[in-house]
């Protein structure tokens, strides 16, 4: 079965620009999570969606927003990018409150 | 919120030896404890997990133990191989919610 898909895999943006990251969960998974991982750090939870509704919110900056669409894919929108936003962004999905499976990540570089 | 502490931060073992990584958590409501392996630049990969109604779980060379009273859980890898070298993260959460990760353990297995 296909795993979690994320696009793009790499993204380079300048300060103050915007970025949109996309996540396609595993088929029939009902929950999507977004995590941010800085170099040498553990993944930090940003936000999650259950059945297309926001279910939990972590340390997501106000400059970021996210949504889940009717086909269950999710997008993370990031505005007014800062140098400190450079990180790996992972999406994970799960079914029925069970194991979370991570996508390959999007490496965002802000210059 | 949940706070997960993980030790050691680095671990070096000889091939064939055992490796043990320990984690403690703070929130007694947490009932799901997964372990992830992450190679450099790659996605966290779920290797084993345990739920609060179980004290021990084993999968080939990997085992996890959970002590709910003491709020700690451990990962045991036996007969280590060079391909086990990676960063290992423990996590704790209430099922269906965001993962709270430890800071990670960098495991190096030398031939």
- pLDDT tens-place string over residues A63-83: 999 999 999 999 999 999 999
Mean pLDDT, rounded, for A9-17:
98
> Dihedrals φ, ψ of A79, to 5°?
-120, 165
For residue A48, is pLDDT > 80?
yes
Q: What is the mean pLDDT of chain A?
A: 96
Of B41, B49, B97, the CB nearest to A99: B49
CA atoms in the 13 A half-sphere facing the CB of A24? 9
**Per-residue pLDDT band at B16 (split at 50, 70, 90):** very high
For residue A1, is pLDDT > 80?
no
- Closest alpha carbon within chain A to B33: A99
Q: Chain B window 49-88: which residues touch A at a Cβ cutoff of 8 Å?
A: 49
The CA distance from A68 to A48, in Å, is 9
pLDDT of residue A61: 95
Min distance A26 CA to chain B CA atoms (Å): 15
CB contact under 8 A, B101 and A43: yes
**Per-residue pLDDT band at B96 (split at 50, 70, 90):** confident
CB contact under 8 A, B96 and A94: yes
Query: Is the Cβ of B99 closer than 8 Å to some Cβ of chain A?
Result: yes
Contact B17, B80 (CB under 8 A): yes
Query: Is the Cβ of B14 closer than 8 Å to some Cβ of chain A?
Result: no
pLDDT of residue A97: 82
Task: Report which of A90, A94, A34 is spatially closest to residue A61, judged by C-alpha positions.
Answer: A34
Mean pLDDT, rounded, for B66-89:
97
The CA distance from A99 to B33, in Å, is 10
Q: Which residues of A touch B96 (CB under 8 A)?
A: 31, 50, 94, 97
């Amino acid at each position: 079965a296909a795993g979690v898909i994320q696009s793009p895999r790499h993204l380079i943006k300048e300060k103050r620009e915007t970025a949109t990251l996309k996540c396609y969960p595993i088929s029939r998974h009902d929950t999507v999570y977004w995590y941010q991982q800085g170099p040498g750090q553990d993944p930090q939870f940003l936000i999650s969606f259950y059945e297309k509704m926001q279910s939990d919110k972590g340390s997501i900056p106000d400059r970021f927003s996210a949504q889940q669409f009717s086909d269950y894919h999710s997008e993370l929108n990031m505005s007014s990018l800062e140098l400190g936003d450079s990180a790996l962004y992972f999406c994970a999905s799960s079914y029925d409150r069970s194991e979370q499976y991570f996508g390959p990540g999007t490496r965002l570089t802000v210059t | 919120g949940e706070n997960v502490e993980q030790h050691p931060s680095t671990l070096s073992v000889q091939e064939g030896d055992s490796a043990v990584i320990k984690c403690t958590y703070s929130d007694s409501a947490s009932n799901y404890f997964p372990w992830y392996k992450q190679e450099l630049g790659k996605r966290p990969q779920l290797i084993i997990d345990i739920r609060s109604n179980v004290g021990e779980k084993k999968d080939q060379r990997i085992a996890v133990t959970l002590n709910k009273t003491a709020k700690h859980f451990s990962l045991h890898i036996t007969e280590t191989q060079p391909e086990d070298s990676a960063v290992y993260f423990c996590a704790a959460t209430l099922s269906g919610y965001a993962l709270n990760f430890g800071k990670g353990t960098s495991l190096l297995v030398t031939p």
